[in-house]
Amino acid sequence: MVEDPAPPLDADPDAEPAGGSAVPRLTPRHQQLIVTIYGLYGRSNGGALPVSVLISMLDDLGVESSGVRSSVSRLKRRGVLESVKQGGVAAYRLAPNLEDVFQEGDRRIFSPRRATAADRWLLIAFSVPESQRHLRHQLRSMLTRMGFGSVTPGLWIAPGNTYEDIRHQLERTGLMEYVEFFKAEHLTAEDVKDKVSRWWDLPALESLYAEFIERFAPVLERWESAGAPASGPDADRAAFADYVQLLTQWRRLPYLDPGLPEEFLPPGWHGLTAERIFAELHRLLNGPARQHAERLLGATGSSATA
């Protein structure tokens, strides 16, 4: 349904993760809105969206056409989008080599996983030659954005069910040769909950969830108070605007959050509330938002064949 190419595409370029403690702020930009739209609607349209449709969709989100064009140009330079012709009209499509990134995002966003206290841990040890220090920074940044905590500078930890995702990410970036994987149990006497608070910057992640709740709890209240969502173009357009914003702000959180067992989380952990808000808004808005997108795509197809 939707992607999250967050690690390679949407990481804050100014973020400087050090020891797994820094978590980038969620500040959606026009490029991120475009990536969300392609993840939701471009992939089901042959990977491509006509330029006119993309401009219309971003207009529904308050983005002017000049902002769309400049953001598309940046995404083209980054190898995310390609220019094509579709039905005789100008269009942009996702780079085909990104499909596995989007599929991974589907799993992260719509099939959330939370480990249990009985599960084993995944450990990653890495060693990078001093002559390639830039790769060391790249590895640390990647592991942080994939939800890993830092036990020591060269030893990183996450719940064991994250292995396939991080392995695919390391293979895509050519960093597997520097990494060793281990499955482990925690055997020292200290409370794991205390250790978790050292390995992860949970307050930073908690603030991101609080930011999400502050932004979208009123949106959920508005849609729930309206009862069954109204049908028709105007209601679908409103659902589209809220849904794209929802996905854009949410889709990196399943990467940053390691999915720790609830027993190891602080009391009143905002992430659980945020997950509920996301799930309810997805249930309410996904269908009407898609109807609006398909209406725009259908209008373009009709005009192209007229």
pLDDT tens-place values along the chain, 306 residues long:
443 344 333 333 333 333 344 455 554 588 999 999 999 999 887 778 999 999 999 999 999 888 898 999 999 999 999 999 887 888 999 998 888 888 888 888 988 788 988 899 999 999 888 888 889 889 999 999 899 999 998 899 999 988 988 998 899 889 999 999 999 988 776 788 888 989 999 999 999 999 999 999 999 999 998 876 667 899 999 999 999 999 999 998 998 999 999 989 988 999 999 999 999 999 999 999 999 999 999 865 544 433
Q: Which long-range contacts (CB under 8 A, 24 or more apart) does 65-72 make?
A: 67/30, 68/30, 68/34, 70/30, 71/29, 71/30, 71/31, 71/34, 72/34
pLDDT for 300:
57
What is the edge-to-edge ordering of all strands in the sheet holding 179-184?
149-152, 155-159, 121-126, 179-184
Distances (CA, A) of 301 to 28, 85, 169, 297: 30, 13, 37, 6
**What CATH architecture does domain 6-17+19-100 belong to?**
Orthogonal Bundle (1.10)
Distances (CA, A) of 78 to 8, 27, 72, 98: 10, 19, 10, 12
Q: Please classify residue 162 by burial: count the beta carbons closer than 10 Å to its beta carbon, then call 0-12 exposed, 13-18 middle and 19+ buried.
A: buried
What pTM does this model have? 0.83
Which among 168, 140, 145, 172 is positioned nearest to 156, based on CA atoms? 140
**Residue 86 φ/ψ, nearest 5 degrees:** -130, 115
Distances (CA, A) of 116 to 84, 193, 265, 269: 47, 13, 12, 16
Which among 166, 148, 167 is positioned nearest to 157, based on CA atoms? 148
What is the edge-to-edge ordering of all strands in the sheet holding 48-50?
48-50, 89-94, 81-86
Asked whether 145 and 162 are in contact (CB, 8 A), the reply is no
Q: Pseudo-torsion of CA 155, 151, 275, 47, nearest 10°? A: -20
pLDDT for 302:
44
Q: Which of 3.30.390.10, 3.30.70.240, 3.90.110.10, 3.40.50.410 would CATH assign to domain 114-198?
A: 3.30.70.240
pLDDT for 21:
43
